[in-house]
């Protein structure tokens, strides 16, 4: 029995013969083809073509080779986008060409062109190119704007480098042959006809076409070099090479709609011949302002995951889980730290997050994994240098998004995204960047140059994978780079991004500086400073001219008359042994009634740094000193930091003092603020003070301590230190019983060679009683100052607040602790501190577990922030969560923090011993924000400096063995805290030597890895090791091939051990 399609074709056959025998007025072959398409998208073109055909029959030719194209410009944008460029721009079907060849020849030529186009489409589909992509649109939606359902089955459904199998049988036209194939393809089909060929005859066009075929056959598409693919524009975006990030998973038909609507696509589509946009155009500032007011848009600071650079987040305004931005396309050229405006995507595109709080797995695999010898070298897959644009294209982003985001088969929507789904999963909001408010990232990055043959530019590969690759013109590279690129393979450069076009995955930039060899401390350090915009230049003459000229400087007599003279009192400093900027000192004198007069004395920097001069400007810009392992980048010139303001021993110095009358139990009876003059009697280090605390009855000899003022004997200083320690213990006990929290995390320190400044030793910094003594009185002074300036200037006070931890992360951590049987109370800061410090024991295992818990509890904590009290209306937001006090500020370090200098000016004005304030609320808030930014940068630079030195230390002194405790378990790796050095590392199972296999499984919601170690000899059975959170293991830190990098390798357990 004939099929309906066969019957339909038989019915059409007489009509076909009739058309050949009779001339008028039948439709030509191209019109019959268009008539087969049921989509409304071709209706507009049909009407235009009918007009042109009428012109042809009447002998009136259009004024242009293809009038439809010219008149198409007058069509509204939305309707014009519905006309497929692949047909409308082909000159082979123009009315003029059809007339010149006659009906029979035109039909023959049309069939040949149709065959060529069909073969071209087949070829492109095999390369992963859909029709919609060739028309300048993304085929990544399940439903189009007009409601038409579109197939998305080919997205990610095939293995890399394999031809696609069509899921749908294409409709055959009544005129098309059953098998239209061609061994060669014409890449020029579908392109606009050039003017010089518009009027050629059919034979001439055939010759030209054959010539092009021969030329193209010499360089087939699949034989392009990687460098050509790197910058091949649309071709690169349309190809689908194997992903460098791992094997692609076969996907179901996408249920979610695109992150970009058809309206977005039409808005971004450029003129014909231009590259297809990779990124969406930014909204205008007016659109952003209106969207924020209406609540359609959100603003926040972008954070990009340094381990998974495709993942980015902004804080959620409702204290819920952070909003997720999936991939570089969603980030829309924003970099880490930028303040951005985002639009929340439809719920269908929200990310599914498992409620398992122990950590996201690397894959969903639960099967047993066998460790092959080839995999034992490394399990990490860093971003390769040869990655091409198409590997980061929006098509690939959607594929990865569909791999990582699984929606329910029922398609049901959850009213509350935080409500657990039936399988314990919740939805996380996703968004895309539509505007960059402030580019806080410096756009300067360290990295390496790679030579690209036959290209006018080199590729700059940043060390930080969160930054895109950058094209640098060869003229900007070293002179001999092209002839000797290998000489620069390990040379570290600084590159600044100058532009990032919307149609490219790569930015453009220029080389700012050649740093030196990667892996050396000084080039690495300089790169860090430049990348984070730390100003380490010398101070200008204009700045230095603001300092006193006559040296050595002495306090003017008129200034002495304005201050309280404390030079006769026993006042001393306690600082690190290497400190040079001594900005705080202490005093403690016992009174006849048994109480104490206790003073905190802070260097009066505001006396030397006047408002609105060049010195003040550079200090406000730097905002903080930056402390690195081997040096300090000062906020102020060294003449101030180390001489004029530093409270050096046996030298008269100007100070701001807070003096209390206090009981031995720590109860404050009275308080005084004022400007003073002191003369420190000795410079003690923390080690000196600790030795006094540890030996309260010892009589110290003069040679055991630094030089001291003869008017204050050593035993007087010793007694003052002991009194301070006693009061500090009572104050500390009161603070923590009142609800304060302190999380002491392990911190690595180094001993350096005095000449080379290279690391000679490495140890975990010990926080001892002498540190606690100084901390306690600095806190007391800061709290007192905060209350004082706020009472005098309720709209101008610069304070420091600490928001409570993120509720969602705390809830997840609480759930994890409950699963592990650990009783941790997260209800308040005080409850958390008590849980971490009571009834945990003091054995080795319990101590290590406390360190891991402390690190885990630090993750939900937010950063403390400077702010102006007039900028926040709700006084409840002033509170400092960790200290559990309503008001707090920074007053005690004006040499190294600009915020403290502002507080000093406020304090002086409130006491009528300084100039009247000229600051507004807006100015104080702006400076507060600047201080917050630079404080964050300073902290990060300090961490990176430690990483550099530790990487050098491992390379020079390693391998290093240490005990470690497991902090989290994934399905192919686990994270550990290395207890001897205080560093966190990830151990990859496939990198472990001697491991036969491993398997990941769950015990309830607790992840575990079971490792099977190969038997050392045939007489022994394989060793089984269970890895779960809080498991103690032995690891070895070993340098990698890359500069400054090292790995943590799991050591084989003893055969008789059972690590659980």
Check whether 581 has a pLDDT greater than 50. Answer: yes
Count the residues in the chain: 1060
Check whether 987 has a pLDDT greater than 60. Answer: yes
The DSSP secondary-structure symbol of 150 reads -
Confidence of residue 424 (pLDDT cuts 50, 70, 90): low
Residue 869 falls within a domain, yes or no? no
Q: Which of 634, 638, 675 is nearest to 657 (CA)?
A: 675
**Whether 596 and 666 share a structural domain:** yes
DSSP per-residue string spanning 571-624: EEEEE-TT-----EEEEEEE-TTS-EEEEEEEE-GGGTS-TTSHHHHHHHHH-B
Rounded to an integer, the average pLDDT of 1049-1056 is 78
Contact (CB, 8 A) for 1024 and 1033: no
Token output for 1055: 């055969």
Q: Using H for helix, E for strand and C for coil, what is the string for 610-649?
A: CCCCHHHHHHHHHCECEECCCCEECCCCHHHHHHHCCCCC
**Whether 738 and 821 share a structural domain:** no
Over pLDDT 90: what percentage of the chain? Answer: 55
Q: Which of 83-92, 399-408, 761-770, 809-818 has the lowest mean pLDDT?
A: 399-408
More confident residue, 524 or 155: 524
Report how many domains make up the chain. Answer: 5
Token output for 218: 């010499």
Q: What are phi and psi of 470, to 5 degrees?
A: -125, 130
Residue 980 falls within a domain, yes or no? yes
**Whether 100 and 53 share a structural domain:** yes
Rounded to an integer, the average pLDDT of 468-473 is 95
* pLDDT at res. 4: 46
Rounded to an integer, the average pLDDT of 1016-1044 is 88
Residue 445 falls within a domain, yes or no? no
Check whether 192 has a pLDDT greater than 50. Answer: no
- The helix (run of H) or strand (run of E) holding residue 1034 is strand 1032-1039
Q: Which of 69-83, 691-705, 755-769, 1024-1038 has the lowest mean pLDDT?
A: 69-83
More confident residue, 497 or 387: 497
Check whether 369 has a pLDDT greater than 70. Answer: no
Q: Is 595 exposed, middle or buried (0-12, 13-18, 19+ CB in 10 A)?
A: middle
Over pLDDT 70: what percentage of the chain? Answer: 66
Check whether 88 has a pLDDT greater than 70. Answer: no
Using alpha carbons only, how large is the chain's radius of gyration in Å?
36
Check whether 514 has a pLDDT greater than 60. Answer: yes
Token output for 381: 């897959």
* pLDDT at res. 94: 39
Last residue of one domain, picked from the residues 412, 439, 466: 439
Residue 367 falls within a domain, yes or no? yes
Residue recorded with tokens 């659109």: 287
List of E strands, 262-317: 297-301, 303-304, 311-314
Q: Rounded distance, CA 155 to CA 159, Å?
A: 11
**Whether 213 and 242 share a structural domain:** no
Q: Which of 232-236, 649-653, 885-889 has the lowest mean pLDDT?
A: 232-236
Rounded to an integer, the average pLDDT of 839-861 is 86
Sign of the Cα pseudo-torsion (403, 404, 407, 413, in order): negative
Check whether 101 has a pLDDT greater than 60. Answer: no
* pLDDT at res. 963: 95
| CATH of residue 234 | 2.40.50.690
Residue 155 falls within a domain, yes or no? no
* pLDDT at res. 264: 47
In the three-class reduction of DSSP (H, G, I as helix; E, B as strand; rest coil), residue 1041 is classed as coil
Last residue of one domain, picked from the residues 833, 861, 889: 861
The DSSP secondary-structure symbol of 178 reads S
Q: What is the pTM (predicted TM-score) of this model?
A: 0.70
Check whether 23 has a pLDDT greater than 70. Answer: no
Sign of the Cα pseudo-torsion (121, 126, 127, 129, in order): positive
Confidence of residue 35 (pLDDT cuts 50, 70, 90): low
Range of the domain at 59: 4-128+164-223
More confident residue, 632 or 806: 632
In the three-class reduction of DSSP (H, G, I as helix; E, B as strand; rest coil), residue 266 is classed as helix
* pLDDT at res. 68: 41
Q: Rounded distance, CA 596 to CA 661, Å?
A: 6
Q: Which of 68-77, 426-435, 871-880, 954-963 has the lowest mean pLDDT?
A: 68-77
Check whether 442 has a pLDDT greater than 80. Answer: yes
Q: Rounded distance, CA 1002 to CA 234, Å?
A: 45
How many CA atoms lie less than 13 Å away from 202 in the CB half-sphere? 19
* pLDDT at res. 165: 38
Check whether 133 has a pLDDT greater than 80. Answer: no
Q: What are phi and psi of 671, to 5 degrees?
A: -145, 140
**Whether 212 and 283 share a structural domain:** no
Q: Rounded distance, CA 22 to CA 684, Å?
A: 112
Contact (CB, 8 A) for 962 and 981: yes
CA distances from 17 to 10, 98, 354, 603 (A): 12, 20, 65, 104
Cis peptide before 235 (omega within 30 of 0): no
**Whether 29 and 92 share a structural domain:** yes
**Whether 323 and 371 share a structural domain:** yes
Residue 78: alpha-carbon gap to chain centroid: 37
Rounded to an integer, the average pLDDT of 187-191 is 36
* pLDDT at res. 104: 45
Q: Do strands 759-764 and 748-752 pair parallel, antiparallel, or not at all (unpaired)?
A: antiparallel
Residue 911 falls within a domain, yes or no? no
Q: Rounded distance, CA 269 to CA 276, Å?
A: 7
**Whether 391 and 414 share a structural domain:** yes
The C-alpha angle 110, 115, 118, rounded to 5 degrees, equals: 120
Q: Which of 477, 491, 489 is nearest to 524 (CA)?
A: 491
More confident residue, 291 or 83: 291
Check whether 487 has a pLDDT greater than 70. Answer: yes
Residue 575 annotated as lining a ligand binding site: yes
Token output for 198: 């518009």
Residue 799: alpha-carbon gap to chain centroid: 28
**Whether 171 and 258 share a structural domain:** no
Token output for 516: 């030196």
How many CA atoms lie less than 13 Å away from 399 in the CB half-sphere? 26
* pLDDT at res. 914: 82
Q: Is 1048 exposed, middle or buried (0-12, 13-18, 19+ CB in 10 A)?
A: buried
Q: Rounded distance, CA 534 to CA 941, Å?
A: 9
**Whether 297 and 210 share a structural domain:** no
Contact (CB, 8 A) for 996 and 371: yes
Check whether 361 has a pLDDT greater than 50. Answer: no
pLDDT in tens, 195-239: 344 444 455 555 555 554 444 444 443 333 333 333 333 333 333
* pLDDT at res. 208: 53
* pLDDT at res. 474: 93
Q: Is 773 exposed, middle or buried (0-12, 13-18, 19+ CB in 10 A)?
A: buried
Rounded to an integer, the average pLDDT of 525-531 is 95
748 pairs with which residues across the strands?
764
Residue 997 neighbours by CB under 8 Å, 6+ apart:
368, 369, 370, 371, 1012
Residue 537 falls within a domain, yes or no? no
| CATH of residue 995 | 2.40.50.140
Rounded to an integer, the average pLDDT of 28-32 is 50
Q: Rounded distance, CA 404 to CA 394, Å?
A: 15
* pLDDT at res. 307: 83
Check whether 879 has a pLDDT greater than 80. Answer: yes
* pLDDT at res. 210: 52
Q: Which of 379-383, 470-474, 558-562, 921-925 has the lowest mean pLDDT?
A: 379-383
Token output for 1019: 């007489």
Q: Is 497 exposed, middle or buried (0-12, 13-18, 19+ CB in 10 A)?
A: buried
Residue 36 neighbours by CB under 8 Å, 6+ apart:
171, 173, 174
Confidence of residue 801 (pLDDT cuts 50, 70, 90): very high
Residue 530 neighbours by CB under 8 Å, 6+ apart:
442, 444, 446, 494, 512, 513
- The helix (run of H) or strand (run of E) holding residue 352 is strand 351-354
Q: Rounded distance, CA 509 to CA 443, Å?
A: 9
**Whether 815 and 731 share a structural domain:** no
* pLDDT at res. 404: 36
Q: Rounded distance, CA 405 to CA 418, Å?
A: 16
Q: Rounded distance, CA 679 to CA 585, Å?
A: 10
More confident residue, 241 or 1018: 1018
- The helix (run of H) or strand (run of E) holding residue 1037 is strand 1032-1039
pLDDT in tens, 677-697: 999 999 999 999 999 999 999
Q: Is 963 exposed, middle or buried (0-12, 13-18, 19+ CB in 10 A)?
A: middle
* pLDDT at res. 36: 52
**Whether 283 and 370 share a structural domain:** yes
Q: Which of 704, 681, 712 is nearest to 586 (CA)?
A: 681
Check whether 69 has a pLDDT greater than 80. Answer: no
* pLDDT at res. 211: 52
Confidence of residue 381 (pLDDT cuts 50, 70, 90): very low
Residue 1029 falls within a domain, yes or no? yes
Check whether 578 has a pLDDT greater than 80. Answer: yes
Helix count (H) and strand count (E) of the chain? 28, 35
Token output for 837: 């410090």
- Neighbouring C-beta atoms of residue 574, cutoff 10 Å: 24
Last residue of one domain, picked from the residues 439, 471, 487: 439
Q: Do strands 564-565 and 1046-1050 pair parallel, antiparallel, or not at all (unpaired)?
A: unpaired
Confidence of residue 173 (pLDDT cuts 50, 70, 90): very low
């Amino acid at each position: 029995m004939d099929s309906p399609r066969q019957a339909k074709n038989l019915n059409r056959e007489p009509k076909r013969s009739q058309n050949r025998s009779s001339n008028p007025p039948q439709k030509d072959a191209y019109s019959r083809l268009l008539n087969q398409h049921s989509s409304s998208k071709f209706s507009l073109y049909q009407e235009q073509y009918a007009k042109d055909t009428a012109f042809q029959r009447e002998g009136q030719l259009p004024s242009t080779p293809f009038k439809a194209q010219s008149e198409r410009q007058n069509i509204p944008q939305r309707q014009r986008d519905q006309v497929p460029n692949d047909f409308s721009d082909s000159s082979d079907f123009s009315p003029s060409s059809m007339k010149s060849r006659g009906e029979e020849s035109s039909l023959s030529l049309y069939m040949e062109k149709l065959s060529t186009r069909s073969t071209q489409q087949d070829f492109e589909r095999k390369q992963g190119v859909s029709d919609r992509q060739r028309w300048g649109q993304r085929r990544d939606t399940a439903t189009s704007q007009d409601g038409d359902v579109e197939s998305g089955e080919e997205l990610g459904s095939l293995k890399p480098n394999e031809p696609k199998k069509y899921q749908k049988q294409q409709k055959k036209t009544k005129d098309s042959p059953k098998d239209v194939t061609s061994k060669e393809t014409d890449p020029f089909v579908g392109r606009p006809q050039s003017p010089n060929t518009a009027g050629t005859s059919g034979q001439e066009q055939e010759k030209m076409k054959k010539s092009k075929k021969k030329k193209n056959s010499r360089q087939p598409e699949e034989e392009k070099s990687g460098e050509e693919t790197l910058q091949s524009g649309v071709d690169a975006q349309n190809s689908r090479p194997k992903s460098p990030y791992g094997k692609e998973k076969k996907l179901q038909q996408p249920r979610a709609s695109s992150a970009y609507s058809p309206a977005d696509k039409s808005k971004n589509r450029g003129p014909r011949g231009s590259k297809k946009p990779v990124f969406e155009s930014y909204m205008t500032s007016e659109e952003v302002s209106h969207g924020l007011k209406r609540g359609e848009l959100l603003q926040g600071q972008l954070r990009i995951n340094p381990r998974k650079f495709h993942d980015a987040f902004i804080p959620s305004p409702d204290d819920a889980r952070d909003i997720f931005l999936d991939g570089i396309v969603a980030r829309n050229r924003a970099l880490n730290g930028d303040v951005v405006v985002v639009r929340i995507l439809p719920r269908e595109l929200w990310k599914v997050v498992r409620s398992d709080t122990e950590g996201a797995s690397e894959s969903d695999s639960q099967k047993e994994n066998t460790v092959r010898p080839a995999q034992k070298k490394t399990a990490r897959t860093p971003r390769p240098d040869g990655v091409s644009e198409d590997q980061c294209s929006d098509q690939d982003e959607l594929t990865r998004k569909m791999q990582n985001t699984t929606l329910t088969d029922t398609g049901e929507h959850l009213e509350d995204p935080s409500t657990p789904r039936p399988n314990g999963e919740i939805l996380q909001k996703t968004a895309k960047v539509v505007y960059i408010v402030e580019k806080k990232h410096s756009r300067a990055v360290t990295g390496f140059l790679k030579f690209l043959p036959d290209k006018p530019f080199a590729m700059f590969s940043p060390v930080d994978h969160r930054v895109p690759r950058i094209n640098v013109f060869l003229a900007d590279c070293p002179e001999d780079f092209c002839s000797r690129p290998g000489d620069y393979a390990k040379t570290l450069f600084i590159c600044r991004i100058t532009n990032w076009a919307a149609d490219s995955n790569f930015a453009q930039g220029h080389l700012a500086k050649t740093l030196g060899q990667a892996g050396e401390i000084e080039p690495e350090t300089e790169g860090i400073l430049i990348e984070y915009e730390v100003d380490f230049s010398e101070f200008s003459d204009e700045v230095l001219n603001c300092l006193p000229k006559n040296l050595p400087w002495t306090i003017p007599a008129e200034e002495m008359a304005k201050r309280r003279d404390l030079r006769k009192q026993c006042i001393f400093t306690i600082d690190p042994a290497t400190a040079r900027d001594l900005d705080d000192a202490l005093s403690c004198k016992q009174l006849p009634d048994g109480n104490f007069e206790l003073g905190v004395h802070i260097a009066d920097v505001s006396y030397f740094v006047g408002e609105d001069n060049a010195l003040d400007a550079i200090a406000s810009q730097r905002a903080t000193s930056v402390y690195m392992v081997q040096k300090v980048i000062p906020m102020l010139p060294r003449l101030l930091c180390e001489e004029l303001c530093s409270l050096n021993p046996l030298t008269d110095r100007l100070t701001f003092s807070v003096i209390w009358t206090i009981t031995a139990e720590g109860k404050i009876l009275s308080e005084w603020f004022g400007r003073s003059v002191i003369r420190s009697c000795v410079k003690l280090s923390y080690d000196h003070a600790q030795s006094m605390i540890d030996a309260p009855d010892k009589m110290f000899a003069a040679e055991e301590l630094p030089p001291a003022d003869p008017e204050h004997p050593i035993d007087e200083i010793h007694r003052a230190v002991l009194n301070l320690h006693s009061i500090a213990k009572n104050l500390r006990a009161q603070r923590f019983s009142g609800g304060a929290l302190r999380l002491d995390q392990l911190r690595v320190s180094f001993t350096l060679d005095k000449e080379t400044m290279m690391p000679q030793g490495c140890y975990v910094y010990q926080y001892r009683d002498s540190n606690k003594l100084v901390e306690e009185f600095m806190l007391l002074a800061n709290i007192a100052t905060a209350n004082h300036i706020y009472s005098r200037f309720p709209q101008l006070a610069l304070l420091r607040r600490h928001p409570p931890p993120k509720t969602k992360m705390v809830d997840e951590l609480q759930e994890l602790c409950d699963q592990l049987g650990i009783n941790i109370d997260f209800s308040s800061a005080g409850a958390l501190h008590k849980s971490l410090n009571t009834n945990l024991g003091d054995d080795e295992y319990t101590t290590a577990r406390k360190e891991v818990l402390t690190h885990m509890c630090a993750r939900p904590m937010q950063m403390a922030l400077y702010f102006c009290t007039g900028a926040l209306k709700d006084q409840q937001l002033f509170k400092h969560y960790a200290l559990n006090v309503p008001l707090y500020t920074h007053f005690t370090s004006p040499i190294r923090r600009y915020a403290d200098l502002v507080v000093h000016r406020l304090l002086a004005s409130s006491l009528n011993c300084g100039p009247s304030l000229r600051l507004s609320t807006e100015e104080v808030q702006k400076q507060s924000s600047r201080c917050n930014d630079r404080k964050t940068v300073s902290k990060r630079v300090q961490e990176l400096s430690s990483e550099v030195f530790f990487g050098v230390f491992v390379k020079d002194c390693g391998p290093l063995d240490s005990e470690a405790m497991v902090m989290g378990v994934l399905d192919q790796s686990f994270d550990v805290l290395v207890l001897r050095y205080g560093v966190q590392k990830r151990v990859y199972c496939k990198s472990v030597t001697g491991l036969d296999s491993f398997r990941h499984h769950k015990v309830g919601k607790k992840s575990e890895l079971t490792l099977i170690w190969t038997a050392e000899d045939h007489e022994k059975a394989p060793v089984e090791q269970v890895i779960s959170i809080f498991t103690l293991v032995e690891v070895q830190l070993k340098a990698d091939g890359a500069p400054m990098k090292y790995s943590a390798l799991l050591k084989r357990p003893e055969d008789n051990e059972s690590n659980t």
